[in-house]
Structure 1
Amino acid sequence: MRRPTPEPPGPGQESVWDYPRPPRVEQVPQRITIRLAGELIADTRSAVRVLETSHPPVYYLPIADFVPGALVAAAGSSFCEFKGAARYFDVQSGGTVREGAAWNYPQPSPGFETLVDKVAVYAGPMDECTVGSEVVVPQPGGFYGGWVTSAVVGPFKGTPGSMGW
């Protein structure tokens, strides 16, 4: 499969095709929030993002910055060739439960140790996820957990036909 033609970034934008492989972790200066069932369930200024070629950033928030009870251990696991073995969480608020909507790496691979006490959340099942004051759009396709903002351009992995990128 051919690599797609990257969209040219405008002023203040990043192309996901300039992100590295293996991925890079970096601090996020903006406030990050997550809402579910009309309630604010996470609010932090201590997030990091993982940048990987062809993917919008995946934001990892400190577990301690979620309201108590919002994250409940769930069945299932997966493995990332870079970050290691992931475990999953159900995300809940106000009687609403989104099964397997969050994950983390309790023993991440070398280079990703900063993720140990942080969790990533799929934006799609949430009411709203924000980076700064901007509401994010979920990465296409539902498999990957990137958050799309106006600061990034693609095309993004997850769209139809992108399996081989």
Structure 2
Amino acid sequence: MSRPQPEPARTGEESVWDYPRPPRVEPVRERVTITLGGVVIADTTDAVRVLETSHPPQYYLPIDSFIDGALTPAEGSSFCEFKGEAAYFDVHGGDQVVPRAAWTYPRPTRRFAELSGRVAVYAGEMDACTVGNEHVTPQPGRFYGGWITSPIRGPFKGVPGSMGW
């Protein structure tokens, strides 16, 4: 499949097609929050994001930025050729439980050591996820966990027909 036509990025915007492969990790300067079941279950100014070609950024928060009881270990794992083996969490907030809606890399590869002790969540499974004062839009498709904010331009992997990108 051929590479899709990137949307034009203006000053202050980012095209996911300019992100690298292999991906890179960078710090996030804005406050990041996650709400589930009407409860803010995570709040931090110490997030990082992973940038990878064709994907909106994935945000990783320190595990200690989650309230007590928000994360419980879940069955199963997956493997990323860049980051290593991922473990999953069920996410709890208010009276809601979302199975396998968060993941971590307990022993990330050396290149992704900054992800150690951090957790990412599927934004589409939460009530809301914010970066700064902006509510994020989840990356299309349940397989991917990117968060789309207004300065990010696509098209994004995860839409129908994008598996070969």
- Asked if Structure 1 and Structure 2 have the same fold, meaning a TM-score greater than 0.5 normalized by the shorter chain, the answer is yes
What's the CA shift for 1:78?
Answer: 0.2
- Name the amino acid aligned to 2:64: A
1:1-45 C-alpha deviation (Å, 9 max, x unpaired): 000010011221100000000000000000000000001000000
Aligned pair count?
165
User: Aligned residue for 1:102?
Assistant: 102
Determine the C-alpha separation between the residues in 2 that align with 1:60 and 1:94.
Answer: 22
Which contiguous aligned blocks of 4+ residues in structure 1 show a shift greater than 2 angstroms?
A: none
What's the CA shift for 1:93?
Answer: 1.4
Work out whether 1:77 is the aligned partner of 2:77.
yes
What's the CA shift for 1:137?
Answer: 0.4
User: Aligned residue for 1:7?
Assistant: 7
User: Aligned residue for 2:19?
Assistant: 19
Determine the C-alpha separation between the residues in 1 that align with 2:64 and 2:118.
Answer: 8
SS at match of 2:110: coil
Percent identical residues: 67
Determine the C-alpha separation between the residues in 1 that align with 2:48 and 2:94.
Answer: 27
Further displaced range: 10-19 or 79-88 = 10-19
Determine the C-alpha separation between the residues in 1 that align with 2:83 and 2:9.
Answer: 28
SS at match of 2:17: helix
- Name the amino acid aligned to 2:149: T
- Name the amino acid aligned to 2:91: V
User: Aligned residue for 1:135?
Assistant: 135
User: Aligned residue for 1:144?
Assistant: 144
Determine the C-alpha separation between the residues in 1 that align with 2:93 and 2:7.
Answer: 38
Determine the C-alpha separation between the residues in 2 that align with 1:66 and 1:116.
Answer: 15
User: Aligned residue for 2:40?
Assistant: 40
1:52-89 C-alpha deviation (Å, 9 max, x unpaired): 00000000000000000000000110000000000000
1:119-148 C-alpha deviation (Å, 9 max, x unpaired): 000000100000000000000011100000
User: Aligned residue for 1:116?
Assistant: 116
Work out whether 1:157 is the aligned partner of 2:157.
yes
Give the alignment's Cα RMSD to 1 decimal: 0.5
- Name the amino acid aligned to 1:115: L
TM-score norm. by structure 1 comes to 0.99
What's the CA shift for 1:91?
Answer: 0.3
Determine the C-alpha separation between the residues in 2 that align with 1:29 and 1:158.
Answer: 26
Determine the C-alpha separation between the residues in 1 that align with 2:94 and 2:144.
Answer: 26
TM-score norm. by structure 2 comes to 0.99
